[in-house]
């Protein structure tokens, strides 16, 4: 992919510097990533991918600052050119997806094991070290493989342009196309029953919100002899047939992330090339995060039920677990205040 840094008309001598446009694009990405981080990443220490989210925002800030300095100083006084920033930024961001996916999956797989059950400080330090290693290999790759050279081309008749080569992220392109295709084909066999299952998931979500609104400062589990009639506490199931667990979790993922996948696929179909420093953003990272959490939750859900220690995510995995298994087999999490045990401050699931 070629990025047009400058262009000029030979006949009139009109010169255009596109650094300002690239700066605006980077500022927009920084604002979008910051908003997504605020909405989606609640706890920084919970996972490796959340630490990666923060690192991407910091990298966006560095990229914006460097581009702003080049635009303010001008090409003659600036120590580096805008082509240098664009070429190396695209190479660095393009080298991030694969190690982030692999280490993020590994982090979730060990979450319920003795390796993963460490203190919050140990997890934080581990995530910081792994994140620094990922960025280090990406920077080394960019300086080894990239030659930030400006090339002058005849852009159109009487118009010349100074361009430099920037990279696309092939992994993200294949990732989005493959995920979108897989989701579509997974939905086809159950297409007619999806509206009913979505309504049931909404009912379960509302029921969980009611339980959370009734919480007190001290919680404990309620003994079986103290529970009310199960039909009164948990309304009867409103659907006869339930989806398999794999499809229920796929449905929870699709409802939230299908707009992002559809827009990304549309851009690819219509040929809108996007460099890696734009496509590797927090929207993609949170979508990947949801996919990895969903896969690990599905694998562990068969043995641990909905009580895995995986971090909270934008997708309601536990709700869709109950959508598949029903609330009569394992009841929704309930918090009950027991004044006789005032020294305990625990939240148990019954």
The rounded distance, in Å, linking the Cα atoms of 229 and 181 is 45
Residue of 119 and 82 predicted with greater confidence: 82
Q: What is the pLDDT of residues 31-48, one digit of tens each?
A: 999 999 888 766 555 689
Question: Model-level pTM greater than 0.85?
Answer: no
Kindly list the domain boundaries of the chain, sorted by start residue.
Answer: 2-167, 175-325
Q: What is the pLDDT of residues 236-276, one digit of tens each?
A: 455 567 888 889 999 999 999 999 999 999 988 888 888 99
Per-residue model confidence (pLDDT) at position 218 = 39
CA separation (Å) from 5 to 1, 68, 87, 147, 230? 13, 14, 11, 15, 68
Q: What is the pLDDT of residues 178-227, one digit of tens each?
A: 999 999 999 998 888 888 998 888 888 888 777 777 764 434 444 443 33
Contacts of 314 (CB under 8 A, 6+ apart): 40, 256, 286, 290
Contacts of 328 (CB under 8 A, 6+ apart): 230, 234, 237
The rounded distance, in Å, linking the Cα atoms of 62 and 309 is 34
Long-range CB pairs of 81-84 (<8 Å, 24+ gap) are 81/5, 81/148, 81/150, 82/5, 82/18, 82/19, 82/22, 83/3, 83/5, 83/148, 83/149, 83/150, 83/162, 83/164, 84/148
Contacts of 70 (CB under 8 A, 6+ apart): 19, 78, 80, 81, 82, 85
Contacts of 316 (CB under 8 A, 6+ apart): 201, 205, 252
Answer for the pair 180, 254: CB distance below 8 angstroms, yes or no. no
How many Cβ atoms are within 10 Å of 130's Cβ, its own excluded? 19
Q: How confident is the model at residue 117 (pLDDT cuts 50, 70, 90)?
A: low
Strands 151-156 and 15-17: unpaired
**What average pLDDT does the chain have?**
80
- From the number of C-beta atoms within 10 Å of its C-beta (0-12, 13-18, 19+), residue 270 rates as exposed
């Amino acid at each position: 992919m070629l990025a047009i840094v400058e262009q000029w008309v030979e006949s009139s001598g009109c010169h255009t510097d596109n650094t300002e446009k690239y700066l605006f694009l980077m500022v927009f990405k920084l604002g979008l990533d910051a908003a997504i981080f605020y909405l989606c990443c609640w706890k920084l220490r919970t996972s490796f991918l959340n630490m990666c989210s923060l690192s991407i925002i910091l990298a966006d800030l560095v990229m914006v600052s460097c581009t702003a300095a080049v635009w303010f100083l001008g090409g003659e006084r600036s120590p580096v050119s805008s082509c240098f920033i664009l070429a190396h930024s695209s190479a660095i961001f393009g080298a991030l997806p694969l190690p982030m996916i692999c280490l993020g999956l590994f982090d979730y797989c060990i979450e319920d094991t003795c390796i993963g059950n460490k203190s919050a400080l140990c997890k934080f330090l581990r995530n910081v070290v792994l994140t620094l290693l990922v960025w280090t290999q990406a920077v080394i790759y960019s300086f080894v493989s990239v030659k930030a050279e400006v090339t002058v081309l005849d852009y159109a008749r009487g118009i010349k342009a100074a361009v430099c080569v920037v990279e696309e992220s092939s992994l993200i392109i294949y990732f989005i196309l493959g995920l979108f295709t897989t989701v579509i084909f997974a939905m086809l066999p159950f297409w007619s029953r999806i509206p009913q299952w979505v309504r049931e998931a909404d009912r379960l979500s509302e029921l969980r919100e009611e339980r959370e609104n009734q919480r007190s400062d001290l919680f404990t589990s309620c003994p079986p002899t103290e529970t009310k009639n199960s039909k009164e506490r948990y309304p009867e199931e409103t659907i006869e047939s339930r989806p398999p667990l794999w499809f229920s979790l796929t449905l929870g993922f699709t409802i939230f992330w299908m707009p992002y996948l559809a827009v990304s696929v549309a851009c690819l179909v219509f040929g809108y090339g996007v460099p890696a420093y734009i496509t590797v953003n927090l929207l993609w990272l949170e979508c990947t995060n949801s996919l990895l959490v969903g896969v690990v939750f599905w694998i562990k859900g068969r043995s641990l039920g909905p009580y895995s220690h995986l971090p909270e995510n934008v997708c309601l995995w536990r709700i869709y677990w109950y959508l598949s298994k029903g609330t009569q087999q394992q009841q929704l999490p309930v918090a009950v205040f027991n004044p006789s045990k005032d020294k305990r401050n625990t939240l148990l699931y019954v």
